Amino acid sequence: MSRSVRLVSALVVPALTACGGGPDPSGAPGVGDPYFPKAGNGGYDVGHYALDIAYDPASRRLTGAARITARPTQDLSAFHLDLVGLTVDSVTVQGEAARWSRDGQELTVRPRRGLDKGGAFEVRVRYSGTPRTITDPDGSREGWLRTEDGALALGEPTGSMAWFPGNHHPSDKASYTVQVTVPEGLKAVSNGELTGERTARGTTTFGWRAAEPMASYVATLAIGRYEIRRSTAGGVPVYTAVDPREENTDELAEVMAWARDAFGPYPFSSTGVIIARAGDSEYALETQNRPVFPGTPDTELLVHEIAHQWFGNSVTPASWKDMWLNEGFATYAEWLWREDHGGDSAQRTFEALYRGDDADLWAFPPAEPSGAGHISDRPVYDRGAMVLHKIRQRVGDDAFGDLVRGWAAARRHGNASTADFTRYVERRAPDQDFGRIWADWLYGEGKPDRP
């Protein structure tokens, strides 16, 4: 996500346990995220989502069927899914009707037979209704955003539960297949690769497959009268969807080539952009494979969201406390791009920030946001980038480049916490002392005494 568009934008906490000290046989309604404790669910790990969705913009009605394949990480007599707003019509587990109940965003499912740790199970949920727009703690809007000719689904941090049931926490990544049926004449664009398109009886169905692991907050669905363009960039298929009132970007191939040199091999099997109409969203978002932009992006915004494909989408935060690992890297990518293309050096950018009098920059440490409403504030972005620049100063340019590419490779398609990152840096440069950088720049309160 880009703070330049959205000014208001750790540790994996163990599942809650029962009073007896063992795993709760009904899982847990949330993984205990420090900022969104109800997000996600304990007791299982999702492997795949298969979503079959139909949406009519005229009536604003969505009908959906979600088939979720998962593995219990403990014995379960029940489990939870996150879903907000929509009506649940039926639930089955392993092909048998299951009891279920609703409480806020929690959909609790009670299968007829218990689920054994280490096995596998399939839950199917049929649901319908008018999807909701969710207001975040920072006041921004996500979830299901109605547009003039369709809809736009954005999920950071919790909005995906507005259009499909799931384990909606970044620590549980999965592959996806998405089938979307819309009125003929509209396009439906999601993540991954287009697997099929067929029109019959006044509707068109689009099939999409995202084979690489994906956190649900970067899943997207864009419905509207988009113009579709296909090409390649460095051998990677490019699929772009552009609102006819906006212009396409012609810089994607150049940015992709630069990013591969800076960060290592591109982690996904396709790329592209979704350029929605200006005003359809309040911000850009790094949705996997093809980030979403509200209008044609400028170059640095494109760099920021493409960098997120490595940092955020492939290397995904373990919890929302670790947001700076997304935004600090993507912001520093802007600094590097500027440096490599005749603009200010990263050092000059760093110095200008340090000399500035913006108290918001020093409001809290990047690794310790002051609350759920502040995970997209300036310290996470700009001070997060300053942490990376301090590491670069300490190890030197060549070693820093190797370190960044190595981090992206070591955590490819996985999750990482701040502690994982600091340990990695210390292992890669064992002759360097990073103690003051962590204490002053990553975790320290206020403005450090010396730049």
The helix/strand count (H/E) of the chain reads as: 9, 22
3-state secondary structure 393-413: HHHCHHHHHHHHHHHHHHCCC
pLDDT for the residue 1:
84
Residue 246 C-beta-side C-alpha neighbours within 13 Å: 27
Residues in the chain: 451
Say what the pLDDT of residue 22 is.
Answer: 64
Determine the Cα–Cα distance for residues 243 and 268; give it in Å rounded to an integer: 24
Strand partners, 101: 108
Which is it for strands 236-242 and 274-276: parallel, antiparallel or unpaired? parallel
**Residue 12: predicted pLDDT:** 34
Tokens, residue 385: 């980038």
Percentage of the chain beyond pLDDT 90 is 94
What sign has the CA pseudo-torsion 289, 291, 295, 298?
negative
242 contacts: CB under 8 Å, gap ≥ 6:
226, 227, 229, 248, 273, 275
Does the pLDDT of residue 395 top 50, yes or no? yes
CA quadruple 238, 1, 153, 88: dihedral positive or negative?
positive
For residue 440, count other CB atoms closer than 10 A to its CB.
Answer: 18
> Per-residue pLDDT tens for 46-83?
999 999 999 999 999 999 999 999 999 999 999 999 99
Q: What is the pLDDT of residues 213-255, one digit of tens each?
A: 999 999 999 999 999 999 999 999 999 999 999 999 999 999 9
Residue 367 has pLDDT above 60, yes or no: yes
What is the pLDDT averaged over residues 343-361?
A: 97
Average pLDDT for the chain: 95
The answer to whether residues 183 and 232 touch, using CB atoms and an 8 Å cutoff, is no
Q: What's the pTM value of the predicted model, to 2 decimals?
A: 0.95
Checking if the pLDDT of 8 tops 80, the result is no
Task: Output b/e per residue, 369-395; b: 16+ Cβ within 10 A.
Answer: beebbbbbbbbbbbbbbbbbbbbbebb
Q: Which residues contact 350 (CB under 8 A, 6 or more apart)?
A: 335, 386, 389, 451
pLDDT, one tens digit per residue, over 155-167 is 999 999 999 999 9
Answer yes or no: is pLDDT of 20 > 60.
Answer: no
Q: How far is CA 180 from CA 49, 211, 276, 280, 290, in A?
A: 14, 17, 18, 20, 17
Residues 6 or more apart whose Cβ sits within 8 Å of residue 113: 94, 96
Q: Give mean pLDDT, residues 336-349.
A: 98
The H-or-E segment that residue 391 falls in is helix 384-395
Amino acid at 346: A
CA 388 to chain centroid, in Å, comes to 21
Residue pair 106/38 in contact (Cβ under 8 Å)? The answer is yes
C-alpha 263, offset from chain centre: 19
Pairing of strands 141-146, 133-135: antiparallel
**Residue 239 identity:** Y
pLDDT at 307 > cutoff 60 = yes
